[in-house]
Amino acid sequence: MQREPPAKVVTEPRERGHLFVISAPSGAGKTSLISALAKSDCSLTVSVSHTTRPRRDGEQDGVHYHFVDIETFAAMRARGEFLECADVFGHAYGTSRNAVLDAFEAGRDVILEIDWQGAAQVRARWPTAVAIFLLPPSRDALVARLRGRGQDGPDVIAARTAQAVADMSHHGEFDHVVVNDDFDTALADLRDIVEATRAGLRPTRSDHAALIAELLS
């Protein structure tokens, strides 16, 4: 995976909107929570990334991704149009800065669903972004969720678990940590962070020290 180097800081006024970055290891239930959060709040929208990978069956351009060719993506990258971007398994992915600003102009706050490395790029470019990391309630629950997909064998599950542990070690780089044990509770926790941010508050970061120690052991 190749990541972009840090770029200059964005200086758009805060009142134009709030940017929320939500990251999680595989198996933490990130996508379902983000979808529910956005559906429950008409002032929130989830950013749609650009990618050079081919469209899969059932995917819609502009809904799942903005599908572009390599030349278009390279030109956007050269012009500095991405808040974050990466090359993953031979395909490029990126979050458009203009798409975020367009959402702000429409009166909406924006969620970026990206990994911890992308989150680091965004924070370097947009320091006022609020970064949230989702955790599973236990190592056993994480493995059970990965197995529950029914798509991977034991070796792949082991590799995904190891990668999840590595990802979770970066929890300290985020403003907030939310545990997805009970879905409704985790969703309420995310809503609380969004509402507090809109009110100009900075809630205390939950500790979860014992859980984190167990997850990383």
Strands 91-96 and 50-51: what pairing?
Answer: antiparallel
Residues 6 or more apart whose Cβ sits within 8 Å of residue 112 = 19, 20, 21, 22, 46, 47, 83, 84, 95, 100, 118, 119, 122, 129
Residues 217 and 206: their CA atoms lie apart, in Å, by 20
pLDDT tens, residue by residue, 7-58: 444 444 445 799 999 999 988 999 999 999 999 999 999 999 999 999 999 9
Q: What is the mean pLDDT of residues 161-188?
A: 96
DSSP string, 187-207: HHHHHHHHHHHHTT--PPPP-
pLDDT at 88: 83
This prediction has a pTM of 0.87
How many residues are given for the chain?
217
Residue 206 has pLDDT above 90, yes or no: no
pLDDT at 150: 66
**How many angstroms from the chain centroid is the CA of residue 212?**
19
Could you tell me which residues are beta bridge partners of residue 86? 3, 93
